[in-house]
Amino acid sequence: MRRAVTGTPALRRLADRFVAGETLDQAVASTTGLVDRGLHVTIDHLGEDTLDAADAAATRDAYLALLGQLTDLGLSGQVEVSVKLSALGQKLATDAEQVTLANAVAICEAARVAGTTVTVDMEDHTTVDATLGTVRDLRGEYPWVGAVLQSCLRRTEADCADLSTAGSRVRLVKGAYAEPASVAHPAKRDVDLAYVRCMRTLMASKAYPMIATHDLRMVEIAESLGTELGREPGSYEFQMLYGIRAAEQRDLAARDHLVRVYLPYGEDWYGYFMRRLAERPANLAFFARSLFSR
């Protein structure tokens, strides 16, 4: 499937809607365009599920180069980075925890020098304990490291309460991974209701909520909660993915909200692209037509 997808020109073009390019230069060009339009950005160097320590080191080095570029271009005030721990070594057969932490520390140190922040993406439910553990370790030295919580998981409301501490940067998402009913709400309505409850917990606390969704009902509820709880614009932010709801991103920014676009780049775009397709039936139908009409 990976070969068929990455080798089909129509699908590569479809991927261009969600991925800013394969090279650092392309990522920086797209980022500059967004920043010029008043948006903030978090850049993800694509890659996940690395089983080789050399690949994990290469991912770390890609982030170090990226953070160096952001500094040189004067973009680090508006641009941070997002990292997946499975790309930094979380699934290695030996010394996974130590290798991941060392790679993540190197990236956080470069972000500190650049004057920006790092958010640690959340992957499937089997990784949540390890990922939150690494975030906790990183926050000892780098308190601005962001965590991601997925409202689809039954455990998340408790995690959300734990993470709702002063200054804690928390990105709230619905969750992009297919999860079993033993750990996740099977009904979308329950995922949405849990999202609202988590938003309230975060917004009512002294944490820094990062409301990451394209669901305009959730955006509206976040704005109402912000007003009800006396939060100033800028004391929380909205986040959306590159290529999705670009007009709404600009509208929100025009209403004085801080809006951050999650911008992925790199050669390993297959997993990210497939998750974006799976989120929306219309994308899947287009995908099937493109694959079988080649």
Q: What residue numbers does the annotated binding site for FAD cover?
A: 122, 150, 174-176, 188, 213-214
CA–CA separation, 186 and 232 (whole Å): 35
Minimum separation from the CB atom of position 105 to ligand FDA (A)? 20
CA angle 271, 273, 279 (to 5 degrees): 105
Strands 208-212 and 118-120: unpaired
Minimum separation from the CB atom of position 94 to ligand FDA (A)? 26
Minimum separation from the CB atom of position 4 to ligand FDA (A)? 20
Strands 258-265 and 208-212: unpaired
Question: Would you give the distance in Å from CA 158 to the centre of its chain?
Answer: 21
CA distances from 12 to 16, 43, 105 (A): 6, 20, 34
Tokens of 88: 């930094």
What does the binding site for ligand FDA look like in residue numbers (CB under 6 A)? 121-122, 148, 150, 173-177, 212-215, 239-241, 244, 262, 276, 279-280, 283
Q: Closer to ligand FDA at the Cβ: 53 or 196?
A: 196
CA–CA separation, 113 and 70 (whole Å): 11
Q: Which residues are catalytic?
A: 121, 171
Q: Closer to ligand FDA at the Cβ: 10 or 53?
A: 10
Q: Closer to ligand FDA at the Cβ: 283 or 290?
A: 283
CA contacts within 13 A on the Cβ side of 284: 5
Q: Closer to ligand FDA at the Cβ: 107 or 176?
A: 176
Minimum separation from the CB atom of position 77 to ligand FDA (A)? 19
Q: Quick one: which of 265, 266, 270 has its CA closest to 241?
A: 265
Give the long-range contacts of residues 177-182, CB within 8 A, separation 24 or more. 177/123, 177/124, 177/125, 177/150, 177/275, 178/278, 179/124, 179/125, 179/152, 179/153
Q: Closer to ligand FDA at the Cβ: 22 or 124?
A: 124
- Please state the residue numbers annotated as binding site for substrate: 84, 275-276
Amino acid at 208: Y
Q: φ, ψ for residue 83 (rounded to 5)?
A: -130, 145
